[in-house]
Amino acid sequence: MRFVHLHTHSHYSFMRGTSGLEALCRSVLHRGMDTVALTDTNGLYGLVFFLQIAEETGLRPIIGAEVVTPEERAVLLVKNKEGYVNLCRILTRKHCEETFMLSRDLIGMNQGLVILSDTLPFLKKLKGKADLYVELTGGQLNRSLLDFSKDEGIPPVATNGVYFLDPQDFHFHALLRAIDLNTKLSRLPLEEMAPASACLTTPDEMQARFPHVPEAFENTIAIAEKCVFRGDFQPAVSPDLKELDQGKPISSLRRKATDGALKRYGNMTPAVRKRLEYELEIIEEKGFGAVFLMVEDIVRQAPRTCGRGSAAASMVSYCLGITHVDPLKHNLYFDRFLNPGRKDPPDIDVDFPWDERDDILDYVFKKYGPEKSAMVANHVGFRPRAAVREVAKVYGLADNEIKQVTDRLAHLWYWGGDSVEEVVGHHPIFQGLRLHPPWPEILAWASKLLGIPRYLSVHCGGVVVAPDTLNAYVPAEKAPKGVRIVQWEKEQTEDAGLVKIDLLGNRSLAVIRDVLEAIRINTGEVIAYEGLNPLDDADTQKIIGQGDTLGVFYIESPAMRQLQKKTQRGDFEHIVIHSSIIRPAANTFINAYVRRLRGEPYRPLHPILDRVLQETYGIMVYQEDVSKIAIEMAGFSVVDGDGLRKTLSKKRNAKKLSIYREQFVRGCRSREIDMEVIEEVWKMILSFGGYSFCKPHSASYALVSFKSAYLRAHYPAEFMAAVISNRGGYYSTFAYISEARRMGLTVLGPDINASDRPYGGKGKTIRMGFMQLKGLKEKALDTVLEERERAGPYPSFENFMSRTHLDPSDIRIFIKVGCLDTIAGKRSRAELLWQTEADRQGQPDSAQISLSLFDEETVRIPSLGHYDLKTMLLHEVEILGFPLSIHPLELYRDAWETLDILPAREMENHIGKRVNMIGWWVTNKMVYTKQEKPMAFISFEDTTGLYETIFFPNTYRKYCSRFTPVRPYLLRGLIEDDLGAVSLHVEEMQFLGKRKGRGMVTRFQKLEDRALSK
Amino acid sequence: MTRNIVHLRIDGFPVAVERLRDASLREKPVVVCSRHSPRSLIFSASREARREGVWEGLPLTKALRRCRRLTVLPPDERSYQQAGNQIMRLLERYSPLVESGPWGRFYMDMTGTARLFGSVHNPTFRIQREVANAMGLRNTLGTGSNKLVSGIAARVIESHGDLYAVPFGSEASFLSPLRIEILPAAHNQKDRTLLTELNIRWVRQLATLSAAQLVSVFGKRGILLQKQALGIDDRPVLPAQSKPFVLEERTLDSDTNDDKRLLGVLYGMMERACREMRIKNVLPRTIWLHIRYTDGMDITRRLRLHDPTVTDPLLFQKLKPLFLKTSFRRQCIRYLSLTFTDLILPPPQLSLFENMSQHYKESRLISALDKIRERYGNRSVQMGRTLHA
């Protein structure tokens, strides 16, 4: 007996379906069926994955969706290609058009679709105009539906509206609904839930539910046989591009590339010509010319860009100005980017200054129109913190109790795929936290929630452009921000063969732009972005080699700076290596790398490795090393080598990977390579899982690193000001300000006449910008700046007040942070505040008692004196987010003054000694040891310098639950020198002083919490 | 005429009352806190507990971590009320004007009693002794010409068993060295922030400012600030006036947000209240529903009844929507109370037409239940919905 489920939801029916696609497909097979229709609510969100999994498991997939509007509801199943296009169109309309009405829109667009519904008016409207069925769900004895089916002659079909796999999953479904509707389980309206019977039933069970309408049961098979479309996307996109290409594109690409080459190289050397010809040939053969032209056109809209990814290996991109690193000079292989065997379109990704990117996107959408272009989506899934928080809220726990758990989770940036229960149960950071019922239940549910998608958001830069209409490939929606997005995230978009370009925001490009502009204003010197190629500048190389690179693009993290200190190399070639070797899974290789670089002799695992990895000391550094080694050691073809590399970076890869592994082992064995060596090399290959970089990408980025390091070395004030103003670096604003001071710069507070919106830097000083003032209304700031622009600086407080007419709450901010000190005359900040408040009360509508009650002349401003230091600092923390007048550690001076403290700048002279140090938290990074034990690298600063510490597993276990970024630390431990990088191996940790200045600490804490949750 | 106001203050009143019952609790860190949930907040703490860093409002789990030998007692509001009443009766022997504030705070107006008891010091010492000896409650006393000054006087005394008398005329100089937070007028968070920002931290600073100046910045509240800074307070001592009401309250054994269970609890509470009202032969015109959530947030909603009833199912029809409306948050509920006020006598004649048959049936059922319960006890017969409540 056969039966096909034609109405099935996966967890891509957001917050309704509970099951992942893999589990769903396997359960269908397990229950004795060989076909299933995936009909997620209002979308094809998981379609590409579904088709892939179906292929892997041998299941016959039917493509479909359930379209739900307040009035109507229907399941649409795709019979053929035309039906697929129609389904995409219907779904796009559903999401993008307010006037959408399913029955009306379907009339012209139902070709190739099977329609199941139980909405009677809907069925009546479409009767005779479409391939229509009456849907009988769950076997309910719905006489009226059945009668309707008979009377109208519309055949019935049996479904179960599946939302979960097993009956007991109903609770999970209810939980999802409660989270989605922001309510509690006991108040969940019945109509918002699927019935408890909506599980994946077996054919027998279904038959038992429909004893009275055998034809409804049989019709499922008939429908399944009609639906033959399997979504053969692969050839769907490229041929059209090829058509485009057969006309002009390749010739105009050739022309532009040649022009560009002349500009870049001056004259055409044979090597350049040969490479260019080779690349153009492949591009022509593949029909990707149009893609290059499209990107070239986009890049031309902005003067400062940085090509990322493998595209930097292409001389065509270099000549077109898409990338800026010479692939010949730096030995970048084109094959990694495009090779004759590659079928899918190449990735060409470009970075723009973060604040110019939206304009670029607008340009693209304007040029190609909403029909052809959209952005890639993100499927935002539950992460541990949100999962715990949401479940706990459904359980009705108080916020502060939930925070106890979620705040600790926030510290764990690295999540090893464990369940929430395991982590909370075993990780030392949860030590001492007693979790009473119902917590165990909550954590168990939270574990189940991990990874389940919740909603769509906009991918940070992925743009899809289709040759004809995008709707023929994928449904689109409107994101809350207003842009159109496709329903797939990056991986599915790529797998479906759509042309995707990443246009990403990059803060450092904006930093460079702002510094160059500041230099022009301050010194009159004009430096062009393209002309800035300081690869050989001695000062730049020096600071890079010393790791003095806070604020410098891409090489500012503690790990990177430690690596720089160990290697002492500041030349371009090494920076390219270093930007690639720093990746999560490569820790063990880094130290080997440093030792080899310092000349330690080593024995290569295999001579082939040594040959292939010559420039990186026999260590696999770049992504393409994986392909190269597979080719050289195991005889992979170029296509297979590339396939292996690609598979490593994908999430669902276990199966494919095991096939590649077999192929690899077989290939190596045939070359008589030892099994031990094979295992070692395979382990190295696996370390490229997650994210890793290719050499062209690193080279492209390293160039930007050099530009920004050059500016840091020669224009420190302008540079640091721009770094802070553009935000979003690795460190907090406070850390950059401390660094600026260590660089010998003076950081001045904001001033009403001297400050601008961003930070300003000149000579030896940095002037804080108004952007730092939290709570200040944007409009108020505009007024102040415009008025100053119009009629010059404000000479006095009265003048300021009368010219700007600001809201008192904004004036208060200016006063409290000292912006108005220079125009206050003899008055203190408190007295200015008094005057502001008095003015406010004096306004007729705000006070019931008018001043006329009293003799007006007697109302004079009392003398209130100046704030004490503590109040001033409190105000600074409140408004700026950190104390500016003094270092926070100074507040605790009496607690550490009498102790024997080693200042950070003298660490190098005390290697091997046990010392006490004080510290203010800068940043941290938690990692796992080989034994899967957590430990942490934490950067602290004292008043003399920034320093690194290591908390090994034992110390980490002891102290991690007390880590906080806002208290002063007293650390005791051993100073060690690891290949030139000095750090403190902490043995004991405590806090300095009592919780003095508690108000400040808590306010600081709130700010930091927000920063952490970003 | 100069008034003589006495303020009696018993610090940590609930703990003090508990210690009366159990002498072994003395000199130990003790707190009163409902033990049913690890999330409970400390309601009252003894001095010994405070010394260990345990204060009112701290979550119990944290308190236990700070002080392992902490004794935790469940709150027994009835006996605190009784103790309070006892003190009231004692104080009423000295003056007809006695006002009971929050737990353990009492004001009495002794104006014009000098002929009876001698100067004000005489009776105050006696009161203090009586409360301390007869009732065993250590206390502090403040006297002054008004409630503000006497209240602050009792508060600033360091040790128990002391008395602080602020002589008439020295109110301002008594207050001037104190921080402004001591003034009730500065308790408003907004004003307190503004005062700090204006660099005004001490009462003496406030006292130097004129009313006009303060009004120019604080508006109407400036007058109150200035008065209080000078120790002026005209509020009279108001003896409590009580109106009849019927109250049912319940702190749940474990917090829950399950509507089914909560409605069961509510039904049980309403049943008991209705029975009490049937016995007293009154009908409520107003119902107050008070809910306290796990995080301590309180919500009170009122319902006016146009056709008052004490028939359980009929009243519950009104009460259920009130509950659903009031408990709009997802958070677990810890405490519920139902207060029936505006009690009236039932009209002699039942309405002739309105829902007659149903109403009649329901009330027959309820009176039958009443009879059974009278004979066999409250738990002898129960509505199904209250079984798990």
Q: What is the pLDDT of residues A254-265, one digit of tens each?
A: 989 999 999 999
> Given an 8 Å threshold on Cβ–Cβ distance, is A396 in contact with B255?
yes
A397 contact residues in B (CB cutoff 8 A): 294, 331-332
Interface membership of A1011 toward B (CB under 8 Å): no
Burial-class residue A515 by CB neighbours within 10 Å (0-12, 13-18, 19+): buried
Q: Is the pLDDT of residue A83 over 90?
A: yes
Mean pLDDT, chain A, as a whole number?
A: 87
Helix (H), strand (E) counts: chain A: 41, 21
- Confidence category of residue A1005, pLDDT binned at 50, 70, 90: very low
**b/e map of A187-218 (b: 16 or more CB within 10 Å)?**
ebeeeebbeebbbbbebeebbebbeebeebbb
CA of B375: how far to CAs of B336, B366, B369, B382, B384, in Å? Answer: 29, 14, 10, 14, 20
- Specify the pLDDT at position B355: 57
Name the residue ranges covered by the structural domains of chain B.
Answer: 14-76, 174-229, 246-386
- Per-residue pLDDT tens for A373-410? 999 999 999 988 999 999 999 999 988 889 888 888 87
- Per-residue pLDDT band for A1000 (boundaries 50, 70, 90) equals very low
CA of B297 to nearest chain A CA: how many angstroms apart? 10
Please, which residues have CB within 8 angstroms of residue B229's CB and are 6 or more apart in sequence?
B172, B175, B180, B183, B203, B206, B207, B209
Homologous superfamily, domain B174-229: 5' to 3' exonuclease, C-terminal subdomain (1.10.150.20)
**Tally of CA atoms within 13 A in the half-sphere of A357 that contains its CB:** 22
Q: Do A626 and A685 contact (CB within 8 A), yes or no? A: yes
- Whether residue A239 lies within 8 A of chain B, CB to CB, comes out as no
Query: Does residue A438 have a cis peptide bond before it, meaning omega lies within 30 degrees of 0?
Result: yes
- Counting one residue from chain A and one from chain B, the pairs whose CB atoms sit within 8 A come to 104
Q: Which element (helix H / strand E) includes B277?
A: helix B259-280
Cβ distance A666 to A672 under 8 Å? no
Contact (CB, 8 A) for A344 and A454: no
Determine the CATH number of domain A888-1013: 2.40.50.140
pLDDT confidence of residue A849: 46
Three-point CA angle B55, B60, B63, nearest 5° = 55
Reported ipTM: the value is: 0.74
Q: Bin A974: left if φ > 0, else alpha if -120 < ψ < 50, else beta.
A: beta
- 8 Å CB contact of B208 and A841: no
pLDDT tens per residue across span A519-567: 999 999 999 998 898 999 999 999 999 999 999 999 999 999 999 999 9
Please tell me the predicted confidence (pLDDT) of residue A141: 58
Q: Check if A854 contacts B (Cβ < 8 Å).
A: yes
pLDDT at site A223: 95
Shortest CA gap A810–chain B (Å): 14
pLDDT category at A735 given cuts 50, 70, 90 is very high
Judge whether A475 and A91 are in contact, CB under 8 Å.
Answer: yes
Q: Looking at residues A672-681, what average pLDDT do you find?
A: 88
Confidence of residue A844 (pLDDT cuts 50, 70, 90): very low
- Tens of pLDDT, residue by residue over A276-331, are 999 998 888 887 888 888 889 899 988 888 988 888 999 999 999 999 999 998 88
**Cα–Cα distance measured from residue A686 to residue A664, given in angstroms and rounded to the nearest whole number:** 13
CATH topology of domain B246-386: Dna Ligase; domain 1 (3.30.1490)
> What CATH superfamily is the domain A21-226?
Metal-dependent hydrolases (3.20.20.140)
- The 8-class DSSP code of residue B23 comes to G
The answer, yes or no, to whether residue B27 has pLDDT greater than 80, is yes
User: Among B210, B218, B293, whose Cβ lies nearest the Cβ of A858?
Assistant: B210
- Return the residue of B nearest to A861 by Cα: B213
Q: Please, what's the b/e burial string for B323-333 (b: 16 or more CB within 10 A of its CB; e: otherwise)?
A: beebbebbbbb
Kindly state the average pLDDT of the residues A690-716.
Answer: 92
Q: Of B4, B283, B251, which Cα lies nearest the Cα of B123?
A: B4
Confidence label for A1004 from pLDDT (cuts 50, 70 and 90): very low
Name the band, by pLDDT with cuts 50, 70 and 90, for residue B350.
Answer: low
pLDDT, residue A168, reads: 94
In chain A, what are the domain boundaries? Answer: 21-226, 234-353, 383-451, 523-706, 745-865, 888-1013
Q: How distant is the Cα of A123 from the closest Cα of chain B, in angstroms? A: 39
Q: How confident is the model at residue A584, as a pLDDT?
A: 66
Shortest Cα–Cα distance, A1003 to chain B (Å): 15
pLDDT band at A891 (very low <50, low <70, confident <90, very high): confident
DSSP secondary structure letter of residue A802: H
Q: Starting from the edge strand earliest in sequence, which strands make up the sheet with A760-762, in order?
A: A746-748, A765-767, A760-762
Sole residue written with tokens 């103790």 = B83
Q: Is the predicted pLDDT of residue B84 greater than 70, yes or no?
A: yes
Q: Quote the tokens at residue A193.
A: 């839930």
Residue A879 has pLDDT above 90, yes or no: yes
The answer, yes or no, to whether residue A685 has pLDDT greater than 80, is: yes
The mean-pLDDT minimum among A387-396, A608-617, A773-782 falls in A608-617
Give the per-residue pLDDT at A851: 47
- Asked whether this chain's domains B174-229 and B246-386 adopt the same fold, the reply is no
What gap in Å lies between CA B204 and CA A643, rounded to an integer? 81
Comparing alpha-carbon positions, the chain A residue that sits nearest to B258 is A186
Mean pLDDT of A24-36: 95
Q: How far apart are alpha carbons A816 and A177 in whole angstroms?
A: 47
For residue A396, the chain B residues in CB contact (below 8 A) are 255-257, 294, 330-333
Residues of chain A contacting residue B210, judged by C-beta atoms under 8 Å apart:
854, 858-859
Q: Hey, are the CB atoms on B257 and A395 less than 8 Å from each other?
A: yes
CA angle (B109 as vertex; B107, B112 as ends), nearest 5: 165
| pLDDT tens, position by position, A496-522 | 888 888 999 999 999 999 999 999 999
Taking the C-alpha atoms of residue A986 and residue A959, their distance in angstroms, rounded to an integer, is 10
pLDDT of residue B112: 81
The whole-angstrom separation of Cα B361 and Cα B367 is: 10
Q: Which residue in chain A has the smallest CA separation from B64? A: A434
Q: Does A977 touch chain B (CB under 8 A)?
A: no
List pLDDT tens digits, range A788-813. Answer: 999 999 999 999 999 999 999 999 99
Task: Give the model confidence (pLDDT) of A912-926 as tens digits.
Answer: 999 999 999 999 888
Res. B21: pLDDT tops 90: no
CATH topology of domain B14-76: MutS, DNA mismatch repair protein, domain I (3.40.1170)
Give me the pLDDT at residue A997, please. Answer: 42
Q: Are A903 and A945 in contact (CB under 8 A)?
A: yes
Rg (CA), chain A: 32
The residue-averaged pLDDT of B273-291 equals 91
Which chain B residues have a beta carbon less than 8 Å from that of A844? none
Average pLDDT over residues A758-768: 95
Contact between chains at A393 and B255 (C-beta distance less than 8 A): no
Which of B198, B219, B295 lies at the smallest CB-CB distance from A398?
B295
Band of the pLDDT at A843, cuts 50, 70, 90?
Answer: low
Phi, psi of A813 (to 5 degrees): -65, -45
CATH number assigned to the domain covering A745-865 = 1.10.150
How far is Cα A161 from Cα A172, in angstroms, rounded to an integer? 16
Residue A605, Cα to own-chain centre: how many angstroms?
Answer: 37
Between A859 and A405, the more confident residue is A405
pLDDT, position A414: 56
Q: Does A867 touch chain B (CB under 8 A)?
A: yes
Name every residue in B having a CB less than 8 A away from some CB of A.
Answer: 38-39, 59, 61, 194, 196-200, 208-213, 215-220, 223, 255-260, 293-296, 324, 330-333
